[in-house]
Chain A
């Protein structure tokens, strides 16, 4: 039967987390850009082994937190000090009342930071995702059990079916398989 589907990439299986770790280092050094590793559990130091660099998540969370702080300042300051300057609980209607606002400043900062962290996490990881070509590969289902996989995608500029397959086998990959979309 002729294969008409697009190639997603080449996948290789590794026996242990350590083997996957070292394979990732070699793949990084080889200069591949579009590739990923899959394991049943997080592996310490894998981000460095893959050469991922610093995540942008913290910047997004900082922006979210500042937005929350700003929202709280406007939400409390404008009505309490400008629109309805009413004496409440015997506290003055000046900036000196600001300690009463701090809990809301704090809470909204945290709330917006948390929302932006979760939101950015979903966007960065391209979730939710209803379909992924890797699940066409039968062995890949073991990734939630005892399988360690490294997949180099076909859209990587350095990808070529023959040489990439050879490279994966060189670095110790087993069951090197062409995965289709």
Chain B
């Protein structure tokens, strides 16, 4: 195996595009902050949670890779590690959310005694604990991501197989920590938008979307790198496995989403139905139907085809579509709290996406150039190279 390092100094055009969109996005956000703070708050939360789920999903795949001592994913692991190591930066995006919390979270402004329902939840929903929890998620998720990347890149240098053992141990401990952080993060930032409403499926729902879309993102990134001449060792067998995982999580998302919907719809209890009533008002209804079709009914039959999964071009189309649908999913979760009368797109939605996405993209490209694109001295590298399935 030859060392392959991404030449980030000469990745000119993507750099320029990202820098341009980033500047445009940030300028747009600043102007938006002066003109319509409320809209900016919701658009920012939408963009933040979208990129956060993508990064966190990549961390999930690394954890699974190490915990199960997997072999196939060795070749693509470094790409996942590069995305997951963006989590600390991504978390900086929570600062505007905290600043704009009074716009976003209705409960933030209520004094004790104003709403007995909130008073009953005060032990959990109060300002101090909210910020403490956010910090906890930050330290846990960033810590796990950075330590795993550190050990993995250290192995590139010293070739010590004990690194793999340490990573496995950290991953096994990290899985429950990751699950708790993502679940309660989803509770705090998304379910907390309507503090009356609750769903025990919520954390799993967000996780299902995150895992599926980040596997799709991985397919896109790997294909992009292959097109530039890197990662030529990734074969159609790897694509096949990534496609199978996309299929699995496409079904899993639908399963969880439907389970959440059907129980609420069937029981028809007012404190639970509010979520879906809000998302089926006027044009939101059309968007909700689009979400169900686009996130499940369209990709599912396509991903069943074996030939499609072994064709990078076709798989990329489906992967791109799923990454897009993840944005729609997050949009439908966040935005109906602001535009209650119906779907109303706003330029700030794009500005926030561009701002956060471009910064993360630039850092990703820069980080990609620092280490080998594959963990060269991983003990299971040979197995991954000779993968058949």
Contact = CB atoms under 8 A, between A and B. Distances in A.
B268 A99 contact: no
B266 A45 contact: no
B266 A89 contact: yes
A44 B262 CA distance: 42
B388 A99 contact: no
A48 B258 contact: no
B266 A44 contact: no
B268 A102 contact: no
B388 A48 contact: yes
A44 B265 contact: no
B261 A44 contact: no
A44 B258 contact: no
A51 interface: no
Contacts of A103: 262
Contacts of B304: 62
A169 B306 CA distance: 38
A148 B384 CA distance: 27
Interface string A43-81: 011001000001000100010000000000000000000
Given A44-B388, A45-B388, A48-B388, A102 B266 contact: no
A17 B94 CA distance: 56
Interface in A75-116: 89-91, 99-100, 102-103
Interface residues on chain A, size class: 10 to 19
A99 B268 CA distance: 13
Interface string B225-268: 00000000000000000000000000000000010011001101
Nearest to A58: B306
Contacts of A100: 262, 266
B321 to A, nearest CB: 22
Contacts of B268: 89-90
Interface string B298-318: 000000101000000000000
B273 to A, nearest CB: 12
Contacts of B262: 99-100, 102-103
B254 to A, nearest CB: 10
Contacts of B266: 89, 91, 99-100
A54 B305 CA distance: 13
A42 B262 CA distance: 42
Given A89-B266, A90-B268, A102 B388 contact: no
Contacts of A90: 268
A62 B300 CA distance: 13
A103 B388 CA distance: 35
Cβ-closest 9 pairs across A and B? A45-B388, A99-B262, A99-B265, A44-B388, A102-B258, A100-B266, A90-B268, A102-B262, A99-B261
Given A62-B304, A99-B265, 13 more contacts: A44-B388, A45-B388, A54-B306, A58-B306, A89-B266, A90-B268, A99-B258, A99-B262, A99-B266, A100-B262, A100-B266, A102-B258, A103-B262
10 contacts: A48-B388, A54-B306, A89-B266, A90-B268, A91-B266, A99-B266, A100-B262, A100-B266, A102-B258, A103-B262
